[in-house]
Amino acid sequence: MADLKVRIAGVELQNPIIGASGTVGFGREYGEFYPLSAFGGISCKGITLQPRQGNPAPRIAETPSGMLNAVGLQNPGVDHFIEHDLPWLKEQNTVVIANIAGNTYEDYCQMAEKLSDTDVDMIELNISCPNVKSGGVQFGTSCESVGAITKAVRQFCKKPLIIKLSPNVTDIVSIAKSAEYEGADAVSMINTLTGMRIDIHNRRPIIKNNTGGLSGSAVFPVAVRMVCQVAQAVKIPIIGMGGITTWQDAVEMLIAGASALQIGTVLFKDPYAPVKINEGIARFLDENQLSSVTELTGTVQLW
């Protein structure tokens, strides 16, 4: 069988599939279905310096080929994560990625410093959350702001640093290059697109936050395009995400330029998706006489 191992910024994952932040919580629920080693890694629920209650309900809505969410980073805070969730996660034989979000540079830097002294394997900077009214999103929308927050956090972060990029920008390539220049070890992309649904009977938005993040297979072609563009411009690894639902999607995203993948919305429909996707990738590699999944990355032949 072909080798599914991948290496991102010096960290080895047993397979390229990572549970996307906000969809796998801190892993416990999926641990009831199968060993969490089915994932190459888990990007934990976005955590903030202090606990957050999140946005008022309703905060999730179904859309054609996807969903909108505006959960608003509900989480128990970084100290609770370190004390109660991380020790359990480190026993699960999977790479642990701490996803952090904040309102200020100081928030991000403090969390990066705290987490650098723990057993997390990597830190993912969520600077692109589209459903939080204050903080987060303003750091991810320009080359200058992405570069500045990356540079600031890099000084405090001793772990491999992933910058999660927003698709809600005019030039994602320049933004990725800015993150790379200021010290990012990898980028993950794409976060959700900003979307909206309206109840035609009461003429109000379905989600109390008015807008939310659109995810699911509807965004997949956008994600493939952006990953492919960024892969032509940066040397650091790309963790591709956005609507990956099948093993064929996963292979396509790898060919576009991703070194590893995050899956999220598909898990709500099929919790066993990581198992099925890894099995499909392995079959594809064997059928095409490829010895390693790394042989797929960035092999797209553009016209």
Give me the active site residues, please.
129
Rounded to whole angstroms, the Cα distance separating 198 from 209 reads: 12
Rounded to whole angstroms, the Cα distance separating 279 from 39 reads: 12
Residue 171 CA neighbour count, 13 Å, CB half: 10
Please check whether residue 94 is in contact with residue 39, taking contact to mean a CB–CB distance below 8 angstroms: yes
Closest CA to 53 of 77, 31, 33: 77
Question: Which residues, other chains included, contact 131 with Cβ-Cβ below 8 Å and sequence gap of 6+?
Answer: 55, 59, 69, 70, 71, 72, 192, 209, 211, 212, 213
Taking the CA atoms of 133, 147, 262 and 116 in sequence, report the sign of the dihedral they define: negative
What is the residue type of 146? V
What is the pairing mode between strands 198-199 and 204-205?
A: antiparallel
Please check whether residue 37 is in contact with residue 14, taking contact to mean a CB–CB distance below 8 angstroms: yes
Closest CA to 167 of 137, 145, 189, 197: 189
Question: Which residues, other chains included, contact 170 with Cβ-Cβ below 8 Å and sequence gap of 6+?
Answer: none
